[in-house]
Amino acid sequence: MLGALKALHERYRVCDEGRIADYIPELAKADPDWFAIGIATVDGEVFEVGDCDQVFTIQSLSKPFTHGLALEDRGRQSVMQRVGVEPSGDSFDSIIRLDANNRPHNPMVNAGAIAVTSMIAGDSPRHRLERMLDMLGRMMGRRPTIDQAVFESERTSGHRNRAMAHLMLNFGILDRDVEEILDLYFQQCSVIVTARDMATMAATLANGGVNPKTGERALRREYIRDVLTVMHTCGMYNYAGEWAYTVGLPAKSGVSGGIIAVVPGQFGICVYSPPVDERGNSVRGIRVFEDLSRNSGMHVFETWHQHGQVLNHIEGVGNPSPALPDTTQPVGDATVHKREFELDERAAGED
Ligand code: GLN
């Protein structure tokens, strides 16, 4: 397994596409060479290569988790009243659809995430922050802290988010002091994590809400399905459709360069590499996930194996030739479904 991850790391280390996000000035300090891949299983095993000790701010990787907390605090119906579950097809910081519908499209785009954050229960700003940090702490298995410099940087430069919040106040989606809600949202985005933490958090979702490292329940099981569904349809913003097609896993990206994905019931993955594309998704992250999914069968709609075996197939990913080649080969205007034969043999061997 580790060999396969090392091979992937080696293969995409040389990729020099993408740019470090600098619209939050503090994020521009990241090194474009930082690159980590971590996998955490529901049995508590961890496989990691590269810069898994490198800290970064969680940014939008926090969004599925606060969505889960808001669901616990308010219930499905009341969250749905304020935030939808439709992919927007627009960029993560788009303000357009908000105006057209009076309700953010989903909790994965900034507007929806700000609305969801405003629904976290608590008696005071301090109490709400503590409850959010407690939940993230249960997810990662250690007490998280906030990067004050990134928080201040976002707070001073986040005019677009501020504009969204005011529009939502106008529509009654937000119902109290905008600056206080934005502070909690910016603090949430500034939580310090590593790729190892994020793999564990993804594994906690894979494990129905129980952290495989600590055995502690981090989120009620009944809401894990909601969270994963919204990640699947909306987690990669205006790349969500193509991601679902090529990678086929519930996932979330963040503008600091992390991408997490969940193989339900089995494991969580995090790839961290700061250079992002124009949609705010890590370039190396996308490459690694596409490679992994193509060659391991982890796509949720893959039918050539029992889903419980995905981890074993990852072993083959490091091989020079992919473990499973492309399904079809064009022959004139006909198509030969070549792989079916190989898969029959594989299935026979596994029984
Ligand atoms: N804190 C960032 C923002 O609000 C999060 C965006 C992201 O990670 N895509 O713009």
In-domain check, residue 61: yes
What is the tens place of the pLDDT at every residue in 99-149? 677 899 999 999 999 999 999 999 999 999 999 999 999 999 999 999 999
pLDDT value, residue 349: 39
Q: Are residues 193 and 337 in the same domain?
A: no
Catalytic residue among 12, 237, 239, 272: 237
Any atom of ligand 1 within 6 Å of the Cβ of 57: no
Residues 39 and 296: their CA atoms lie apart, in Å, by 14
Residue 30 lies in a domain: yes
The whole-number pLDDT of residue 342 equals 36
In the chain, the DSSP E strands lie at 36-41, 46-50, 56-57, 192-193, 251-253, 258-263, 267-272, 328-331, 334-337
Dihedrals phi, psi of 330, to nearest 5 degrees: -70, 130
Contact 273, 255 (CB under 8 A): no
Residue-number span of the structural domain to which 344 is assigned: 325-351
Rounded distance from Cα 10 to ligand 1 centre (Å): 29
Whether 200 maps to a domain, the answer reads: yes
Q: Are residues 289 and 332 in the same domain?
A: no
Judge if 88 and 224 occupy the same domain: yes
Burial class (CB within 10 angstroms; exposed 0-12, middle 13-18, buried 19+) of 125: middle
Residues 138 and 175 in one domain: yes
Global pTM reads 0.88
Strand partners, 331: 334
Cα 30 to chain center, whole Å?
19
Angle at 116 between CA 110 and CA 118, to 5 degrees: 105
Per-residue model confidence (pLDDT) at position 348: 39
Residue 90 Cα to ligand 1 midpoint, Å, equals: 14
Residue 60 among the catalytic residues: yes
Phi, psi of 286 (to 5 degrees): -60, -45
CB of 277 sitting under 6 A from ligand 1: no
Closest CA relative to residue 128, chosen from 187, 211, 41 = 187
Our answer to whether residue 63 is catalytic in this structure is yes
For residue 143, give the CATH number of its domain. 3.40.710.10
- Answer yes or no: do 46 and 184 share one domain: yes
pLDDT (tens digit, 0 to 9) for every residue of the chain, 351 residues total?
Answer: 889 999 999 999 999 999 999 999 999 999 999 999 999 999 999 999 999 999 999 999 999 999 999 999 999 999 999 999 999 888 888 887 776 778 999 999 999 999 999 999 999 999 999 999 999 999 999 999 999 999 999 999 999 999 999 999 999 999 999 999 999 999 999 999 999 999 999 999 999 999 999 999 999 999 999 999 999 999 998 999 999 999 999 999 999 999 999 999 999 999 999 999 999 999 999 999 999 998 888 999 988 755 556 777 676 665 544 444 444 444 333 333 333 333 333 433 333
Same domain for 19 and 117, yes or no, is yes
Specify whether 85 is located in the same domain as 218: yes
Distance 293 CA to ligand 1 centre (A): 26
Respond yes or no: is residue 252 known to be catalytic.
no
